[in-house]
Amino acid sequence: MIVTVITILFLTFMHMEVQAQTYHVTVSAGDLDRSESIVSFYLPDNVDPGVYRMRSHAGHTTIVQVDENGRGWFILDRLSAGDSRTYQLDASAVTTAATISYSIDSDLITFRSGSREVLSYYHGYNSPPAVLGENYRRGGYIHPVKSPNGVVLTNHLNLDSQSHGFGIWSAWPHTRFQGRTPDF
């Protein structure tokens, strides 16, 4: 199962001037201050996947990445509770060497910046060394996380040191699900 956590913002999307391919995206903070929030929205079918630039009337600029499903994604730096910001998207793709892409297989989601692998998320099962046994077969964690120079920063089933290490994960010891109390 793939778990995605996205800060949901109230979005209003309007398509303006099809000929000039100018689009406006309005983000409203709602009742909470927003900081470094992930925003997503859908664009019309005629916008190709790629990286685009958006600019607000106040001069805030951001980069938006549009995926193959026509969904745009960007990070909203800051927006105070009750405020809104309208961006104008230029439908001309931005040339950049460091676009973020991902690939999904039966066990991993791998993210890349350009052609460089950045991190992977085990949404399925790992393949631990046989000496560790089936108790170490699991998913729900991030590994590897790599530095900009490609150095692996996370530990993963290392037989020489901390074989119990599973990259980055989160324990949920006090949960309730379908009347049960599993310890994640």
List pLDDT tens digits, range 67-88. Answer: 888 899 998 989 999 999 999 9
List pLDDT tens digits, range 119-148. Answer: 999 999 888 888 888 888 888 899 999 988
Q: What are the boundaries of each domain within the chain?
A: 10-90, 97-184
pLDDT at 135: 85
Between the ranges 2-11, 40-49, 62-71, where is the mean pLDDT highest? 62-71
Structure tokens at 47: 């916008």
Q: Give the percent of the chain with pLDDT over 90.
A: 32
Residue 169 · residue 136 · CB < 8 Å: no
Structure tokens at 55: 């600019």
- CATH class name, domain 10-90: mainly beta
**CA 24 – CA 13 distance, rounded (Å):** 6
User: Which residues are 71's β-sheet partners?
Assistant: 42
What pTM was estimated for this model as a whole? 0.50
